[in-house]
Chains A and B, each alone.
Chain A
Amino acid sequence: MIEEILLAVLAVMAWSVLYKQNPLFRVAESMTVGLTLAFVVYTGIDVLGKRVFTPWSQGVWLTPTTVAAILGFMSWTRLGPRSINWISRWPLACLAGIGTGIAVKGVVGPQILGQLTTKSLISSDPLTSVNNIIIVAATITTLCHFTFSYRHDGVLGTSARIGRVFMMLAFGTMLGGFVMTAMGYLIGHMFVVVKPPAVYVVAVALAVLGADVIRSRGII
């Protein structure tokens, strides 16, 4: 019950910006950042305790996790005197090197060769065939749009313009997806706030809102 009321209070505080900027919104904004940070720090310390400090207390000094933790501690030397700052470069170098190595391993197969190979553009399903042709056309024409070595005249100019249309379609689709995803967040929160006890919080918020509208002598 307390969880639902808290959710409703925070949701209403956050939504209040849709009416106008106000201190309650800024409190909710700061609380979100602070609570998220606190949660991550708490969980991080918890993981360190279980996977690093507990093995150390049992005399197990060298495990992959403890090595990673030591590298992590080394990065904190950046906060210390200038004379020991150089130590923080090693974990960064390890992170960049290992990260790149691991990522590159999988890039060639699934992300390059896997995307280039195809059996045939023409499929038994006519719609799939049309789709394949559209994909090829969109790829080529979009690449034409970003070809800046030549003037966009003639065939190149026409291709570039078609490529721009394909990009607009793609961006529009993504924007539509983003809007619907955002609505999904709202639907989730509304599911809680339209039911007791959270609905009483909303009722109070609406009363405050109404009072403010009346106080400012009707905006609409």
Chain B
Amino acid sequence: MTSEKKGSTISVINQDRVIFLLIFITIAIPMIAPLGLPIPVGPTTAKYFSTVESIPEGSTVMWCTGIGLSIWYNTGPGEIATFKHIFELVRERHVKFIVFSESAQGASIVRRILDEYIDLSGLTYGEDYVDLGWIPGGEAALAGVVTDFQSTVETDHEGTPTGEILMLRDVKGADDFDVLGFSSGGMIDRFIRQWEPLKKPILLNMIAIGIPLCMPYIEKGMVMAYLNGQRGGAEYEKLLMQPGMGTSFIDAQSMIHLYIVAMILVVSFWSVSRRVNGR
């Protein structure tokens, strides 16, 4: 955008401006007037849903929110839907839910989801669910929570010692968890290194761009099921029959897909025609 080519009908700067303006318009239209496009549920999201749905009565689920605020709109829908689904199981099947974060921002996201999106009425903090907040230490913390929980996690997010929290008193390590899950906006290698050897079901809510990097672990079954970014979140909301943020985004996402495909075709055609004309 810093250079301006002479000799073309629209300068390079203004070509960029037109492209961006069209992007804004393409996204804004379905936001203002929803198109109601269908949301076909893919096999990966269906597997994720059925994996969560099949968590047996009385199980303990440990979830690590590893996303930051910058990717909230991409992974947030899946994160909220996952929490909603697990909290349904907390009510219906007495599943215990332990959630923590490996970053400061992740901890605030957990608080936001619990405060704004989850109905916690009738549930008892410390008996049905617990928020451990930010557990600093990166990969060492991920290793610690499954090998020596009590030493790694001394308090919950409010500073209450774990020894005073009923559902955490007897938690020692991996044997006390039935399902592990996490969300991430980057490399997931550290989670796999520390949690895969435990041979527990692992769930993943991943930013769309990170999915190709996760495929070696998904193909090998190390990650049992995963959600693919915003789209996965929308599909999951449909399966839960609880439309939310992801569903609101899906029209705009479909439109922008079409726009990008159209742009690729237009630019390719334009480029080829320039070559043919010898310019």
- B214 → chain A, closest Cβ, in Å? 11
- Minimum C-beta distance from A154 to chain B (A): 31
| Bound-state Cα–Cα, A114 to B219, Å | 11
**Min C-beta distance of A77 to chain B, whole Å:** 20
Query: Is the C-beta of A180 less than 8 angstroms from some C-beta in chain B?
Result: yes
Q: Which of A18, A39, A51, A98 contacts B155 (CB 8 A)?
A: A51
| B108-157, CB < 8 A from A | 108, 133-134, 136-140, 143, 151-152, 154-155
B159 near A51 with CB under 8 A, answer: yes
Question: Within the complex, what minimum Cβ distance (angstroms) separates B257 from chain A?
Answer: 8
Q: Which of B83-91, B170-178, B189-197 contacts A (4 or more CB under 8 A)?
A: B189-197
What sequence of 0s and 1s flags, for each residue 1-30 of chain A, a beta carbon within 8 Å of any chain B beta carbon?
000000000000000001110000000000
Contact check, A103 vs B193: say whether CB atoms are below 8 A apart: yes
Any chain A CB within 8 A of the CB of B224?
A: no
At the interface, yes or no: B222 with Cβ under 8 Å from chain A?
yes
A82 close to chain B: CB less than 8 A: no
Residue interface mask B186-227, A partner, CB < 8 A = 1 = 000110111011000000000111011000110010100000
Question: CB distance A47 to B133 under 8 Å?
Answer: yes
Please determine whether A187 and B196 come into contact, CB atoms closer than 8 angstroms: no
Interface size on A, residues (CB 8 A): 50
Cross-chain contact B192 with A184 (CB below 8 angstroms): no
Query: A190 and B216: CB pair below 8 A?
Result: no
| Distance A177 CA – B107 CA, assembled complex (angstroms) | 27
**A217 beta carbon closer than 8 Å to chain B:** no
In the complex, the answer to whether B140 meets A102 with C-beta atoms within 8 Å is: yes
Q: Which residues of chain B from 4 to 54 have a CB within 8 Å of any chain A CB?
A: 10-11, 13-14, 16-18, 20, 23-24, 27-28, 31-32
Chain A residue, CB-CB nearest to B256: A183
Candidates A50, A98, A114, A187; contact of B73 at CB < 8 Å: A187
| Contact indicator A187/B230 (Cβ below 8 Å) | yes
A220 beta carbon closer than 8 Å to chain B: yes
Q: Does residue A194 face the partner (Cβ distance < 8 Å to B)?
A: yes
**Are B134 and A111 neighbours in the complex by a CB distance under 8 Å?**
no
A40 at the interface (CB under 8 A from B): yes
| Cβ B14 vs Cβ A219 within 8 A | yes
**Least CB distance, B253 to chain A, in whole angstroms:** 6
Q: Point out the residue from A47, A99, A111, A194 that lies within 8 Å of B32, measured CB to CB.
A: A194
A174 to B190, CA, bound (A): 21
Q: On chain B, which size bracket covers the interface?
A: 35 or more
B59 CB–A CB distance under 8 Å: no
* Contact across chains for B20 and A190 when beta carbons are under 8 A apart: no
CB distance from A197 to the nearest CB of B (A): 15
CB pair B104 A40 closer than 8 Å? yes
Is B70 on the interface with A (CB-CB < 8 A)? yes
Q: Distance (Å) between the CB of A216 and the closest chain B CB?
A: 12
B157 — nearest CB in chain A belongs to which residue?
A50
List, in ascending order, chain B residues with CB within 8 A of A103's CB: 139, 190, 193
The answer, among B138, B220, B256, for a CB contact under 8 Å with A187, is: B256
A54 to B154, CA, bound (A): 12
* B229 within 8 A of partner (CB): yes
Interface residues of A in 167-192 (CB under 8 A from B): 170, 173-174, 177-181, 183-191
- Which B residues have a C-beta under 8 Å from some C-beta of A? 1, 10-11, 13-14, 16-18, 20, 23-24, 27-28, 31-32, 70-74, 76, 104-105, 107-108, 133-134, 136-140, 143, 151-152, 154-155, 158-159, 189-190, 192-194, 196-197, 207-209, 211-212, 216-217, 220, 222, 229-230, 245, 248-249, 252-253, 256-257, 260
18 contacts between A and B (CB under 8 A): A44-B104, A51-B155, A64-B152, A68-B137, A102-B194, A106-B194, A110-B196, A114-B220, A179-B260, A180-B256, A181-B71, A181-B229, A188-B73, A191-B252, A194-B31, A194-B32, A219-B11, A220-B17
